[in-house]
Amino acid sequence: MADFLISYHLSTWEWCAVVICGLCIGMSKTGINGLGTVVVPILAVIFGARSSTGILLPMLCCADLFAVAYYRRSAEWKYVIRLLPWALAGFAIALFVDHRVPDKGFKTLIGICILTGLGVMLWNEYRGKDTAVPSAWWFTALFGVMGGFSTMIGNAAGPIMSVFLLSVRLPKNSFVGTAAWFFMIINYLKLPLQYFVWHNISRETLLFDLVMLPAIAVGAWLGVIFVKKVSERNYRMVVYALTLASTLLLFGPSPKSSSPVKRNGLTQQGK
């Protein structure tokens, strides 16, 4: 086992960072929504932006199973059904444009949309009034397309879905359950696309993800405990804060691999 782990050529600090990423992925899927976005730049620094998406996706799929197993009866399916067609449209756009759209420009646009949505919601809560915006078809279409595009390009749809689900004022268990089912469907649809079209999932990446399974499981358990302990109001505040923090990361520089070392077949050079 030790030889197997050494073969990945990761330093002690990099292993610590990857294990923390596994914990964050588990927690984000079962309760602390938005925390998973922090994982994206960390893995991109260690493995490179493109290769990291192939490592991250199977980890997300495993965490989705834990989340759905626990919150399977808590989903509000009307929102999942409303979002899915638009998310698939976002998929199609992502496959068509691939790297033709500047990464920095797209992330900035997404960040502005998310911050605008958060600002409107916070203002409405301050005034104690609701608007009809969240029920409008264009609102669902906008966040569905952005979610599908961003999850396909960089597994970074968490804050987008958080804003949408916060805007419809779901209770915490329904919030987590709806997000769990939506992302499980989306992520499993992405697997063949990532494997056959972008070729960034391989035997080596799947073995590495298997090593991370215990960390993901512990994180999922911690997320469930968190949701049980925190009040409805405090839960919304935590999601607001994490969504804001993860959105601000979109305005930072795009991370690149910090090392040219080939990590047991995990690091790939483009298409």
The string of pLDDT tens digits covering residues 144-199 is 988 888 788 767 788 888 888 888 888 999 999 999 999 999 999 988 888 887 78
pLDDT, residue 259, reads 45
pLDDT, residue 103, reads 58
Residue whose tokens read 């090392």: 259
On the CB side of 107, CA atoms within 13 Å amount to 21
pLDDT, residue 120, reads 65
Identify the residue with better confidence: 271 or 72.
Answer: 72
Q: How confident is the model at residue 242 (pLDDT cuts 50, 70, 90)?
A: confident
Identify the residue with better confidence: 94 or 171.
Answer: 171
To the nearest 10 degrees (0 to 180), the angle between helices 203-211 and 213-229 is 50
For the ranges 35-44, 160-169, 217-226, 251-260, the maximum mean pLDDT occurs at 217-226
Q: Could you give the percent of the chain with pLDDT greater than 70?
A: 76
The string of pLDDT tens digits covering residues 120-139 is 666 666 665 555 566 778 88
The string of pLDDT tens digits covering residues 202-226 is 888 898 999 999 999 999 999 999 9
